[in-house]
Structure 1
């Protein structure tokens, strides 16, 4: 099982669901935290500083440590991986290398202008790229 985790509320909901699934299935979990400096660099017109890249990597490492610790505290065998690139590119590579059958990812429901401007959700792009793996897209509960 593979959990894509970035520390957002949606990722926290995905972590909770992944915990339940892994305990029910006695499954090992790989947790992947992605540092997407490619998209960030494009967003800021190629002016992404080394300090910003380091900050993104530190944030990803902290999120990864939190997720792995949570799973291990529940008795789940979990390993963490930092990946660099776009999520839609690095997740299929990890799935192929480690033969993950289930990919759990958080999803944010967008509305209005954000739906138009924000582009396609990552889980839709992953569904097109992952063959033979189930994708569990988890939305955060409304507060």
Structure 2
């Protein structure tokens, strides 16, 4: 099982669902946190600083540590990986290398301008790229 985790509310909901699934299935979990400096660099017109990249990596490492610790506290065998690149590119590579049958990912429901500007949701691209893996898309509960 593979959990894509970035610390957002949606990722926290995905972590909870992944925890339930992994305990029920006695499954090992790989957790990846993605540092997407490619998209960040494009967003800021190529002016992304080294400090910003380091900050992104530190944030990803912290999020990864939190998720792995949560799973380990539940008795789940979990390993964390920092990946660099676009999520839609690095997830299929990890799935292929480690043979993950289930991919759990959080999804933020967007509306209006954010939907147009933000582009296509990652889970839709993953559905086209991942053959033979189930994708569990989790949204944050409404407050």
Q: How far 1:98 sits from its partner (Å)?
A: 0.1
Q: How far 1:12 sits from its partner (Å)?
A: 0.1
Instruction: Show CA shifts across 1:39-95 (max 9, x none).
Output: 000101111000000000000000000000000000000000000000000000000
| Residue 78 (structure 1) aligns with | 78
Note the 1:26-105 alignment, pairs <5 A: 26-105=26-105
Q: How far 1:117 sits from its partner (Å)?
A: 1.7
**Aligned equivalents of 2:22 and 2:118: distance in 1?**
31
**Aligned equivalents of 1:48 and 1:93: distance in 2?**
25
**Aligned-residue RMSD, C-alpha:** 0.4
**Aligned equivalents of 1:34 and 1:98: distance in 2?**
16
Instruction: Show CA shifts across 1:3-53 (max 9, x none).
Output: 000000000000000000000000000000000000000101111000000
Q: How far 1:140 sits from its partner (Å)?
A: 0.2
Give 5+ residue unaligned stretches, structure 1.
none
Residue 131 in structure 1 maps to residue 131 in structure 2: yes
The aligned length equals 143
**Aligned equivalents of 1:89 and 1:140: distance in 2?**
24
SS in 2 for 1:136: strand
Residue 122 in structure 1 maps to residue 106 in structure 2: no
Q: How far 1:114 sits from its partner (Å)?
A: 1.2
Q: TM-score, normalised by structure 1?
A: 0.99
